[in-house]
Amino acid sequence: MLKSELFYLKKYNSINQLKKEIKEYILYYNNDRIKSNLNKMSPIQYRAHYYQN
């Protein structure tokens, strides 16, 4: 997912820029991305909901 959604879509001027974008993508992917198969919750929200019950 990372390669197809981030890496292949953009050219990077430096390794530091790439590292920064990867960190931001991982934060988005785990915290903000809504998945229909997770009851329309992000992975973090789903895990929190699952372990509360």
User: Using CA atoms, how far apart are residues 48 and 53, in angstroms rounded to an integer?
Assistant: 9
Inside any domain, residue 48: yes
Determine the 3-state secondary structure of 47 from DSSP: helix
Total domain count, the chain: 1
Return the percentage of the chain with pLDDT > 90, whole number: 23
Is-contact 7 1, C-beta < 8 A? Answer: no
Inside any domain, residue 35: yes
Inside any domain, residue 24: yes
Strand partners, 41: 35
Inside any domain, residue 41: yes
Residue 27: give the domain boundaries.
18-53
User: Using CA atoms, how far apart are residues 14 and 38, in angstroms rounded to an integer?
Assistant: 36
Inside any domain, residue 50: yes
Mean residue pLDDT across the chain: 85
Q: Residue 14 above 70 pLDDT? A: yes
Inside any domain, residue 45: yes
pLDDT class for 53, splitting at 50, 70, 90? low
Inside any domain, residue 13: no
Return the percentage of the chain with pLDDT > 70, whole number: 98
pLDDT of residue 16: 95
